[in-house]
Amino acid sequence: MNDSSDIHAYLRAAEAAERDSLVEHKSLLAFAGELDQHFRTLVTGRAYCSHPAIALLGMNAHASYLAALSTALRGQSPPTFMVVRGCIESASYAFLIGDDQSDGDVWVRREEEPQAVKARFTVNRAVQKLTSVDPNLGKLLKSSYDWTIEFGAHPNKRSILDHLREGDPHPEGHQFSLIYIHGSDSLAVLRCIAACIENGSMAIALLSHAMPSHPEGERVFAENRESILRFQKHMADEGYFTP
């Protein structure tokens, strides 16, 4: 695409898809809004963190959650999962530092100790530590993170081929196109919004564990769990999946 009007056309199409999704998925956005408030309770105002990096990573998890939701509403499916992955990783790293403050010092000194950062900051390490504290949440974290990779966080076969469409027969061979923007009524958009809500809820739970001294932490953790259970029931009642 060499004409600058092409990029404007793409952006207008994305904006149109977002406007349609705001209407089409109003009920899901109500749940997304609840999670946004849970995030804000934990990451705004006074910081109740054992290390400053926890607060920074918590805010980054929240920012990534909002960015992923915006991307989902615009019908940009694989990129949504790339951003969702960042949300989960930020919250996982905050949890690791909450468990061991020395991890926070290593995170701050990334330029000095890049290999130490790579060794300590992995979601798998967070899963191992979380499992000893909250086995069910640890299992869910592992499953959620793996699914983000399956659906697009990594440019793997499924995350690309699921959005490939074959064109009309052509004398020179087969023609294919990749869907950049899905319509608001597509399964891809529904799946992306659901992924934002489910993984956003996971991130909130991780941040609650990372901030045990937060005066609202236990309430947020409990209300977050109640929110995601109601969301799952809503999805089942609407026939999207069976619990």
**Distance between CA atoms of residues 128 and 141, nearest Å:** 10
Residue 173 gets the label, from left (phi > 0), alpha (psi -120 to 50) or beta, of: left
| pLDDT value, residue 152 | 86
Q: Is residue 5 part of a domain?
A: no
What domain range includes position 197? 26-237
The helix (H) or strand (E) run that includes residue 174 is none
Q: Is residue 6 part of a domain?
A: no
C-alpha distances (whole Å) from 2 to each of 5, 9, 13, 15, 19 are 9, 13, 18, 21, 27
Q: Is residue 232 part of a domain?
A: yes
| pLDDT value, residue 113 | 87
Q: pLDDT by residue for the chain (243 residues), tens digit each?
A: 445 679 999 999 999 999 999 999 999 999 999 999 999 999 999 999 999 999 999 999 999 999 999 999 999 999 999 999 999 999 999 999 999 999 999 999 999 989 999 999 999 999 999 999 999 999 999 999 999 998 888 888 887 888 887 766 666 666 778 889 999 999 999 999 999 999 999 999 999 999 999 999 999 999 999 999 999 999 999 887 543
Q: Is residue 10 part of a domain?
A: no
Q: Is residue 61 part of a domain?
A: yes
Q: First CA to last CA across the chain, in angstroms? A: 45
Q: Is residue 1 part of a domain?
A: no
Q: Output the pTM of the full model.
A: 0.91
| pLDDT value, residue 242 | 41
Tokens of 226: 């109640």
SS3 176: strand
Give the number of domains in the chain: 1
**Quick one: 70 exposed, middle or buried, by C-beta within 10 A (0-12, 13-18, 19+)?**
middle
Q: Tokens 């000095």 sit at which residue? A: 112
Q: Is residue 124 part of a domain?
A: yes
**Quick one: 71 exposed, middle or buried, by C-beta within 10 A (0-12, 13-18, 19+)?**
buried
Q: Is residue 203 part of a domain?
A: yes
C-alpha distances (whole Å) from 153 to each of 66, 80, 108, 116, 128 are 16, 8, 25, 24, 21
